[in-house]
């Protein structure tokens, strides 16, 4: 029975809110050890608030040693997720461990450096051998690491390999957001792991918007400036769409307007998850154009969007139901599924009327007491289509389960 149990993935997670760092670590380690049983800890992830001060300096190596972890990664967070909770205030330590049979876990670290001519370059690239069996888990510092450019570089080097994770948070400036590994502490750059083999990482990226108006085709653009839609001035279409909305949607759109950029150029009909959500960042009345937070291309389909608590909740719930139905055939055993959740700092009680919203949606869609951990990020990583992006106001989930044979 022991060999049979350890031939399957096994997951454990603990959330501790003790204000004493040593006690918090001890309680987390004891809980994770008990849940893992005799299974080895191939990957340990740790997410922690800044309340533990100097104890964070050697947190990674201590936890890795106590849990005999092959690889450990993690970061600081403004809000810490675990055990069905999102701890938005006070000390919190969330530790998650995974036994991943038939799967390699390869750590990496990356930095963004400028040369004397002012040209930037990245050091540190993940090692991927079989792209169709690999995923990347990554955490980065928002002040020192150009995550969007790094994700683009990974897309070019490893097409189709999903990257899930987020930007560390909780710090007030450069050097204050922390990344953890089993080797030590980093206050800049990025840390991560490649997960490649029999255990797959399925991603769920809930951008939390709903469409308003109708889709439009870009007929004129320059970099991120949208000039014409269906050969009409872009702002003319924008204001026409606004006038056609209900009073409530008008208020939402005026407060925070969004546009969805279709990712797949071959698609003519669109569903949830087909659009990359980006904000409208400026309007130029003179030439009737507006700018969005990403590069545009002619022939691309775009869709105006609004976001509120109800649409964000409905989007995450529906995407979780869809993923659960496809990822977990039959009556999946509780300990063969684990998850990591990365939500935006703007979510939580900043968006929803009740606490613990995102983690509650995730656990309600999956079997048993799902071992889950995570944090609220300064930006979330996750794929839309076959490309990886840095998102905002998003919930990004990594769901671990056996790969379909």
Cα–Cα distance for residue pair 306/279, rounded to 1 Å: 10
| Residue 140, C-beta contacts closer than 8 angstroms, at least 6 positions apart | 110, 147, 150, 165, 166, 167, 168, 179, 189, 190, 191
Does the pLDDT of residue 31 top 50, yes or no? yes
What was the pLDDT predicted at 336?
62
Whole domain around residue 242: which residue ranges? 213-306
- Mode of pairing for the β-strands spanning 199-206 and 232-233: unpaired
Confidence band (pLDDT; 50, 70, 90) for 339? Answer: very high
Cα–Cα distance for residue pair 5/265, rounded to 1 Å: 45
| Share of residues in the chain with pLDDT > 70 (%) | 95
Whether residue 133 sits in one domain with residue 260: no
Whether residue 21 sits in one domain with residue 6: yes
pLDDT (mean) for 17-35: 97
What was the pLDDT predicted at 47?
98
Whether residue 99 sits in one domain with residue 32: yes
Whether residue 147 sits in one domain with residue 246: no
DSSP alpha helix (H) spans, 55-200: 59-66, 147-157
What was the pLDDT predicted at 384?
94
Residue where a domain stops, chosen among 306, 333, 362: 306
pTM summary value: 0.93
What stretch of H or E contains 15?
strand 10-16
Whether residue 202 sits in one domain with residue 235: no
What was the pLDDT predicted at 272?
75
Tens of pLDDT, residue by residue over 138-156, are: 999 999 999 999 999 999 9
What was the pLDDT predicted at 334?
45
What was the pLDDT predicted at 154?
97
Residue where a domain stops, chosen among 291, 306, 321: 306
DSSP state of 298: T
Cα–Cα distance for residue pair 209/273, rounded to 1 Å: 10
Cα–Cα distance for residue pair 241/267, rounded to 1 Å: 23
CA end-to-end span of the chain, whole Å? 23
- Mode of pairing for the β-strands spanning 209-211 and 301-307: antiparallel
| Residue 249, C-beta contacts closer than 8 angstroms, at least 6 positions apart | 212, 306
Whether residue 325 sits in one domain with residue 243: no
Residue where a domain stops, chosen among 249, 273, 306: 306
Tens of pLDDT, residue by residue over 251-270, are: 999 999 999 999 887 777 78
CA torsion sign, 165 to 170 to 172 to 175?
negative
Whether residue 234 sits in one domain with residue 125: no
Confidence band (pLDDT; 50, 70, 90) for 7? Answer: confident
Tens of pLDDT, residue by residue over 314-335, are: 999 999 988 877 666 554 444 4
Whether residue 265 sits in one domain with residue 139: no
If one counts the domains in the chain, the total is 2
Does the pLDDT of residue 136 top 90, yes or no? yes
Cα–Cα distance for residue pair 169/142, rounded to 1 Å: 8
What was the pLDDT predicted at 115?
76
Which of 368, 310, 362, 345 lies closest to 85 in space, CA to CA?
362
Whether residue 69 sits in one domain with residue 141: yes
For residue 113, the tally of other CB atoms under 10 A from its CB is: 11
What was the pLDDT predicted at 199?
95
Tens of pLDDT, residue by residue over 186-237, are: 999 999 999 999 999 999 999 999 999 999 999 999 999 999 999 999 999 9
What stretch of H or E contains 237?
helix 234-243
Whether residue 17 sits in one domain with residue 137: yes
Tens of pLDDT, residue by residue over 70-120, are: 999 999 999 999 999 999 999 999 999 999 999 999 999 999 987 777 778
What was the pLDDT predicted at 3?
45
- Mode of pairing for the β-strands spanning 338-344 and 372-377: parallel
Cα–Cα distance for residue pair 180/375, rounded to 1 Å: 14
| Residue 81, C-beta contacts closer than 8 angstroms, at least 6 positions apart | 15, 47, 87, 94, 341, 343, 358, 359, 372, 373, 374, 375, 376
Cα–Cα distance for residue pair 182/62, rounded to 1 Å: 8
What was the pLDDT predicted at 311?
93
Whether residue 182 sits in one domain with residue 109: yes
Whether residue 291 sits in one domain with residue 326: no
């Amino acid at each position: 029975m022991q060999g049979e149990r350890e031939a399957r993935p096994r997951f454990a997670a603990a959330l501790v809110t003790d204000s004493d760092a040593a006690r918090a670590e001890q309680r987390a380690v004891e809980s994770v050890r008990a849940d893992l049983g005799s299974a080895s800890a191939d990957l340990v992830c740790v997410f922690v608030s800044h309340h533990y001060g100097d104890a964070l300096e050697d947190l990674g190596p201590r936890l890795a040693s106590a849990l005999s972890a092959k690889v450990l990664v993690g970061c600081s967070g403004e809000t810490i997720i675990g055990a069905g909770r999102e701890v938005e205030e006070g000390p919190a330590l969330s530790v998650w461990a995974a036994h991943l049979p038939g799967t390699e876990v390869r750590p990496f670290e990356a930095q963004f450096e400028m040369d004397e001519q002012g040209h930037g370059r990245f050091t540190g690239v993940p090692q991927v051998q079989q792209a169709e069996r690999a995923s990347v888990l990554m955490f980065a510092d928002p002040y020192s690491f150009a995550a969007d450019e790094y994700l683009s570089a990974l897309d070019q080097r490893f097409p189709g390999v999903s990257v899930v994770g987020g930007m560390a948070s909780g710090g007030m400036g450069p050097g204050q957001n922390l990344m953890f590994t089993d080797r030590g502490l980093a206050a800049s750059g990025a840390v991560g792991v490649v997960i490649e083999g029999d255990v797959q990482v399925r991603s769920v990226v809930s951008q939390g918007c709903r469409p308003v108006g109708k889709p439009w085709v870009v007929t004129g653009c320059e970099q991120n400036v949208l000039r014409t839609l269906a050969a009409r001035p872009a702002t003319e279409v924008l204001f026409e769409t606004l006038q056609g909305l209900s009073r409530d949607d008008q208020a939402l759109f005026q407060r925070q307007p969004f546009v969805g950029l279709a990712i797949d150029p071959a698609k003519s009909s669109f569903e949830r998850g087909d659009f990359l959500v980006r904000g409208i960042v400026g309007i130029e009345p003179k030439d009737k154009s507006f700018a969005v937070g990403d590069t545009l291309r002619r022939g691309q389909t775009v869709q105006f969007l609004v976001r509120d608590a109800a649409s964000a909740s409905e989007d995450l719930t529906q995407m979780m139901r869809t993923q659960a139905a496809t990822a977990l055939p039959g009556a999946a055993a509780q300990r063969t599924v684990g998850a990591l959740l990365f939500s935006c700092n703007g979510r939580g009680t900043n968006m929803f009327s009740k606490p613990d919203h995102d983690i509650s949606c995730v656990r309600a869609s999956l079997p048993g007491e799902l071992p889950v951990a995570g944090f609220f990020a300064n930006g979330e990583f996750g794929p839309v289509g076959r490309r990886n992006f840095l998102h905002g106001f998003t919930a990004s989930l990594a769901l671990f389960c056996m790969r379909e044979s």
